A and B are shown apart, each in its own frame.
Chain A
Amino acid sequence: MARYLVHRVFGMLVVLFLVSLFTYMVFFLLAPDPAVQICGKTCTPERIDQIRANLSLDDPFLVQFLHFLQGLFLGRDYGTGASAVHCSAPCLGYSFQSAQSVTDMIVQRLPVTAVVAIGAAVLWLLAGVVGGLISAVREGRFTDKFITSLTLGGMSVPNYVLALVLQYVFVVWLQWLPFPQAVPFADDPAQWFLNFILPWTVLAVGYASSYTRLTRANVIDTLGENFVRTARAKGLRPDLVWRRHALRPALTPIVTIAGMDFAGLLGGALITESVFGINGVGKLAADSITKNDQPVIMAVTLLAAFFVVVGNMAVDLLYSAIDPRVRVGAAS
């Protein structure tokens, strides 16, 4: 097990290194000169030179990349002498737009993104698993067909359309939900919670639809398994046949996929956050892309990759905890 972990962590580091290298390379090769951008409209050649020196933009690509890595793990200094600014690890640089520390920007926004992701995941797991179970139990009947057509709609409607429609219906028309306004949780928990209902729902609809289908298919497959027949042949009560023999094998893959999807969302839900004006990592990513704020884009890309890779590993470990065939080797 320890050996396996070492393998996995090593592999994870390699992936992250390659992602960062590739991302850095793309910006180095394709992006317009950051010094010109930072300098703004009232700019002199001397000022540009100074910025270039501060950011070490004249260094070769690999040197710049190594500096970046150094900042990430050890911290780094920008500029020299008295004007030098120390950026402690994990240093992701400073925004070209606001000159804020990128690390701070992300740390500020991560909690709200986590709230969005967690709420949506709870919703879609509940809806997907329950919907899928109902569909499987009523296989071929009206309820099943109805749920299946709902999921088709849920999977095909784009997030931003759904967001606008829901906002119109529930906020403007029915007025069941208040007009969203940013409030800290401590000030008005109720308003805070109501603010998140629509984003959670919008994010969850697509996932819930595919989870419903997946659950339905898995449950139906599992019910056809020979070991379920064996359980029945033992004279087991139907609820036990379901609980012990059908649900566990059917839901195991869903748990693991949910882990991956959730990890992916921690990297930010670009569209949903932007549409609802939620100041999370996703909105930060969207904003930084429109403004070509390279250090920020770089950071959110790495963050997303980090969550996906870590999520992937967590899911594998989870899987081996759930499935004895993975956990325990076969007979020799």
Chain B
Amino acid sequence: MSLLSVRDLTVTFGDTAVVGGIGFDLPKGGSLGIVGESGSGKSMTSLAVMGLLPRGAARGGSIVFDGTDLCALTERRMRAIRGDRIAMIFQDPLSSLNPYYTVGTQIAEAYRSHRSGVSRRAARKVAVEAMERVHIKEAGRRVDDYPHQFSGGMRQRVMIAMALSTEPELIIADEPTTALDVTVQAQILDLLAEVRRDTGAALIMITHDLAVVSEVADTVVVMRHGDVVETGSTEQIFSDPQHPYTQALLDAVPRIDDEIGDLRLLSGGEA
């Protein structure tokens, strides 16, 4: 059975649809990549699953998570799932952490809000353990540091520790490495893979970077202008793309291994 099954999902702002009736499935422990360029609706899709759409946006269709339609849940019941069974990691780790609180407080906060009767001390222990799991050195001391005292990569580790603390079944990562240097990106991608191996969590990775998706996902959803243009196994999408847009997108990716005579132009795209 699917862990997550999205059907006819729409996100609209007034009369404008930014996501126009899409669907995909994610098995337990699986990993799904959603790729697309800016304006493709990939981030709105992830926020719709979390129930965190910005003010003025409306959601339609169904998002069935482990047998429950999230769209039909009250905000209160959704809140019990959000941050507990589904956790999210965002693009910019610095602005995603509150500068006024220690990272330990912020990690523990996620845990405490979903487990009743957890003492401050117990939550702190959970935070230290989560930080150790994402390989932050001297976690016992750094748990009392503030976000600005960490480097960009370390901040993203803190975000991942926060997501992990409640042992979620699904982690949604929205461009988690886009703001990071390439060597740090590689470390964070390795970390995400390790976490999934250890906890069996499923992953939705939202990104514009096709190479990243090819390394991370089992299944790939290609989005454009709010629609899914193609879904398939990662191997199929990258070795035998069916849709002309997917083909053009792959043609445009600059390769590190060789020079391509001319990066071919996307049909219909204008720049």
Question: Which A residues lie at the B interface, using CB under 8 A?
Answer: 225-227, 229-237, 240, 244-245, 248-249, 252, 322-325, 328-331
Q: How many A-B residue pairs have CB under 8 A?
A: 86
Decide if B73 is an interface residue (CB 8 Å cutoff).
no
In the bound complex, CA of A93 to CA of B110 (Å): 64
In the bound complex, CA of A252 to CA of B100 (Å): 10
In the bound complex, CA of A328 to CA of B81 (Å): 35
Residue of A nearest to B142 (CB): A331
In the bound complex, CA of A245 to CA of B97 (Å): 10
In the bound complex, CA of A134 to CA of B166 (Å): 34
Those 4 A-B pairs whose CB atoms lie nearest each other, nearest first: A235-B83, A234-B83, A235-B82, A226-B95
What does the 1/0 interface line of B75-114 toward A look like (CB < 8 Å)?
0000111111001101010011111111000100110011
Q: Are B101 and A331 within 8 A (Cβ)?
A: no
Q: Are B109 and A331 within 8 A (Cβ)?
A: no
Residues of the B chain whose Cβ atoms lie less than 8 Å from the Cβ of A226: 90, 92, 95-96
Decide if B148 is an interface residue (CB 8 Å cutoff).
yes
- Say what secondary structure dominates the interface of chain B: loop
Decide if B50 is an interface residue (CB 8 Å cutoff).
yes
Q: Are A234 and B98 within 8 A (Cβ)?
A: no
Q: Are B95 and A227 within 8 A (Cβ)?
A: yes
The contact of B100 among A234, A324, A331, by CB within 8 Å, is A324
Residue of B nearest to A222 (CB): B98
B107 shortest CB reach to chain A, Å: 10
Decide if B146 is an interface residue (CB 8 Å cutoff).
yes
Q: Are B99 and A233 within 8 A (Cβ)?
A: no
Q: How large is the interface on B (under 10, 10 to 19, 20 to 34, 35 or more residues)?
A: 20 to 34
Residues of the B chain whose Cβ atoms lie less than 8 Å from the Cβ of A229: 52, 90, 96
Residue of B nearest to A235 (CB): B83
Question: Which B residues lie at the A interface, using CB under 8 A?
Answer: 50, 52, 79-84, 87-88, 90, 92, 95-102, 106, 109-110, 113-114, 145-146, 148-151, 159, 162
Q: Are A225 and B149 within 8 A (Cβ)?
A: no
Q: Are B95 and A235 within 8 A (Cβ)?
A: no
A-B contacts, 25 of them at CB < 8 A, read A226-B90, A227-B96, A227-B98, A229-B52, A230-B96, A230-B159, A231-B109, A233-B50, A233-B83, A233-B87, A233-B90, A234-B113, A235-B80, A235-B82, A235-B110, A235-B114, A236-B79, A236-B109, A240-B113, A244-B98, A248-B100, A323-B99, A323-B100, A328-B149, A331-B148
Residues of the B chain whose Cβ atoms lie less than 8 Å from the Cβ of A240: 113
Residues of the A chain whose Cβ atoms lie less than 8 Å from the Cβ of B109: 231, 234, 236, 244
Residues of the B chain whose Cβ atoms lie less than 8 Å from the Cβ of A323: 99-100
Residues of the B chain whose Cβ atoms lie less than 8 Å from the Cβ of A232: 52, 82
Residues of the A chain whose Cβ atoms lie less than 8 Å from the Cβ of B81: 235
In the bound complex, CA of A237 to CA of B99 (Å): 20
Chain A CB within 10 A, most for which of B80, B109, B150? B109
In the bound complex, CA of A79 to CA of B107 (Å): 72
Q: Are A331 and B151 within 8 A (Cβ)?
A: yes
Residues of the A chain whose Cβ atoms lie less than 8 Å from the Cβ of B92: 226
Residue of B nearest to A231 (CB): B98
Residue of A nearest to B80 (CB): A235
Residues of the A chain whose Cβ atoms lie less than 8 Å from the Cβ of B110: 234-236
**Contacts A230-B162, A328-B146, A331-B151 known; 15 new A-B pairs at CB < 8 A:** A226-B96, A227-B95, A227-B98, A230-B97, A230-B159, A231-B109, A232-B82, A233-B52, A233-B82, A233-B83, A233-B88, A234-B82, A236-B79, A329-B149, A330-B148
In the bound complex, CA of A232 to CA of B109 (Å): 11
In the bound complex, CA of A84 to CA of B113 (Å): 75
